[in-house]
Structure 1
Amino acid sequence: MTEMPKNIPFLANSTGPAWLPAAAKDARQFAYWGQLIMLLMLLIAFIGAIASIATGSWGTAIYLLISMVVIAFLYYMMVPSVFTPLDQGKFKEASDRLIIWGIIGLIFGGVIPGILLLIAFIRLQEVFQPQYQQYPTQYYQQPQQYPQQAPPVPPQQTQQYQAPPAQYQAPPVPVPPPAQPAPAPEQHNSSRAEMIKCKNCGVQYPAFMRNCPNCGTPRQ
């Protein structure tokens, strides 16, 4: 296919990046032909406006002048709003612009450019299927994204074993020793007592006795 001269202002390149999916390539080609026909329609509207003014058809001249302004605006916006997003893999953004420019082109820019832009929009919808990738990282460098750091986890405090407080224990009540029986009074050892002899009957008896146990004579 013969490429258009690259020195035409605001005209996109006829081919895009090699990594574009087939549906995106077709949509880009339809959009390219739509922009090219817009340029031709702009020249036709300019010539028609001059002819209408010369013949006194002011209504037609005003419509053609408005069409020239709209076509010039669409022609200028095609590169930044359609071709640049397509070449960067931003298919959703390009799709939204194609449907808008296609409807405006049908009203003011002529039937052919509007139809070509709508065909490009319909063809581009295929790239939204799961098998296509929106942003091919091997060709289009995305801004680096940094992973979000999780908030720091406070260190867990080691629970130290604490012995339970010692319970107060009352001192043991001393048990009184069992009462010991009183010692029996010592029996008087008669063998050690001093013996005296009764002078009346001659019987010996302890000295602590005052009378003789035999005869009853008082001790002298």
Structure 2
Amino acid sequence: MDVQITEGRFVEVPTPEASGMDRRAFGEFVGPQGELASYAIGWTTGADEHIGRISVGIGAGNPGGATIHAVVFDNSSEYAFSLVDEPFEQVPEGGPNLTAEQARAHEDLPFMWWVADHAFARDRRAQWMRHWLLQTQCIQTGPVFELHEPILFVCNDVATNLWQLLGPTEAGPDSKVGHLSHAIDEDQTLLDVLDLSPDEAAVRQQPGGPWTRQVG
């Protein structure tokens, strides 16, 4: 059996000072041998500290059960984890909250990092957070940037190192460069194509319609 990731609830609320959004996503993990784990990820837009957070829990009710907590940050254009003492979220499969020192001494820490990596690879909300952390840039036609037209074409373009977001109007001199995470803020159906491989594209006929993938 392959690793299974099941996306759970997603909570999005304005920050108390209304400077951004606090986002938290939850999910479940089942390993190839039936190993169980739960995780939660989160990030706050508009915050001075540009970091995400993750909690991973295993072994609820068992002596070896534990929940680890970490910050997630940009490390040379790739994400990285660093254990912290402060608990982030409680997760169903988790045991007692561990400090960073306790987590480093836990025999199942490598497994919990493995869970975290799979969550980041396969949970669409984690990919959204990853693009926010890395400040992935995209180029959009003027009407798409101004929210006058829907996004009907998405491409992970290697040549320009930019994602392309196009609508029914062809690209022209009014194209704008922005952040991919901001485009997802406005149209969360983009979550379905955040796993595009380099030079892979996706098209649809109408907003909310199914995506068709193509290479080149």
- TM class by shorter chain equals under 0.3
TM-score (ref. length: structure 1) = 0.22
Highest relative contact order (Cα 8 Å, sep 6+), 1 or 2?
1
TM-score (ref. length: structure 2) = 0.22
Report which of the two structures shows the higher radius of gyration computed on alpha carbons.
1
Higher percent of residues as helix: 1
Higher percent of residues as strand: 2
